[in-house]
Structure 1
Amino acid sequence: MKTFLFSLLFLISFQANSQMLSSVYFKNNSYELRKESQEKLDSISQLKSNLTLRIFGNCDPSGNVELNKKLSEKRAKAVSEYLKEKIGSNIKLGNAVGLGIEKQINDNSTEDLRSKNRRVDVFIEKTFAAGEKISRKMYPSFLSTKIATMKVKDTFSLPDVSFVGGRHVWLPSGKANLLKLSKILKENPSLEVELQGHICCDYDNFDGEDLDLKTFNLSWTRANAIKEFLLKEGIELDRIKTKGLGHHNPVIYPEITESDRIKNRRVELVLVKK
């Protein structure tokens, strides 16, 4: 039952987004697939769209560079070989690549953080026809929606708050609306929110690279930049959560113009408590 529910949720999510990332995790110094990893890969193999899977193995920085590179390659190969036996003709397997410690997504300062880097990322991409493009409506604006009509878990947009490519610095046009956001939160002290960051264009990584910080968590650093702004404005820390969603829930895909890319470099807001 657990596997079935996971598969159903995965299928619904994939159909909504048209591109997904799924990651499986490994014990220290191991490339053996655990049961929960196999169940997750089984769910991927059941997808019915025409897809391409690209596989990237990773390690935490324990051990030397050469051994980590080989271990990441073995992890990628283990996932690729498992999927090869499961997928149908509609799914194409791309290269399985070991990245070693090139794409760390955090600072490895705790065992929990190190475990997030002992992983294989499976990028799942729908095959698009020439000129085909998806475009979804923006969520309603948090700034113009009446508080009385908002519901917990609803998602809202922050209009005109976009970011410089590869950075967690917002464009000057966003400052006025961030001040409006601060004003609404000050006037409604019971509200708690989660800021969810997004990126454009980087399909070879778990998340985008923050060029200023040299880390691969750009969607999170964008959300966190707005959090830091709100804290300076006097909003209490326990009212703001942050989350990075990478490029896996685009407004427009694939991005063809700079306007497309700007729309995807954004932070959205989920109402956590009212």
Structure 2
Amino acid sequence: MTPADALRLPLLTALTMLAFAANSLLCRLALRSTGIDAASFTAVRLASGAVVLWLLARSAAPAPGAPRQGSWTSGAALFAYADAFSFAYTRLPAGVGALLLFGTVQLTMFCGALLAREPVRAPQLGGVLLALAGLAMLVRVADTQGQAPPVAVLLMMAAGVAWGVYSLRGRRATLPLLATRDNFLRAAPMALALLLPFAAGLRADVPGLALAVASGAIASGLGYALWYSVTPRLRSSSAAAVQLSVPVIAAVGGVLLLGESLSPQQWLAAAVVLAGIALAIRKPRPAA
């Protein structure tokens, strides 16, 4: 393996985590500062993501007889995640929402790893427990500061379960770009159908639509295509642990870009999360 090959997976993984954090920032900014509502944001996000992925996949058509990519189950998981995610961010700060989301993702994917009987090393388990302790610290501080309304917390945790299921199913993809495209094409009509029960309260403006398109076309469409290409090369447990970096990235972005604040206790908890991730994804040294 060349040095370039050795760096490729970490760089792609880091780029994907930045895209995931951008989704939290774009969604929170749109729902807080523009005139778009949560249901409209979700529909535009998924529809624009589907269009971009369809355009990208036109040059990557499978060979005749290739198995069908994506599934209705994965499409439904994608829709459930995007929908609950948007409605939760009407009440949650970017960093708090991201930590709830990916903390739940981590638990879901680790359960998947255990069900698949993947071996889990003691240092890896210790790292995950340390990262979860950091997440628990963040949630406790957010709750005392009134930043974690119960309904919004439950919605974001539901989004995390759905995203964890989607990520686990993505490990089976043989053609990641086509699978992501097909899942978006299945999820987009579900989001459009969701507009009907909210018809009386639908609203949108140009800034809100622009942020929804950016979230769907760039941070979601391209980001998820990258994630589907990365997850087959990561163990379920490692893929779960590395996603715990997203709350920290989103929290920093919330401070720098959205004017949100983090207390010293929250910064300390973020450092604990990063330390747990580093321990969880560290590869064991080969035996002499």
Instruction: Classify the TM-score, shorter chain.
Output: under 0.3
More strand by share: 1
Q: Which has the higher relative contact order, 1 or 2, with Cα contacts under 8 A spaced 6 or more apart?
A: 2
More helix by share: 2
Q: State the TM-score, normalizing by the size of structure 1.
A: 0.27
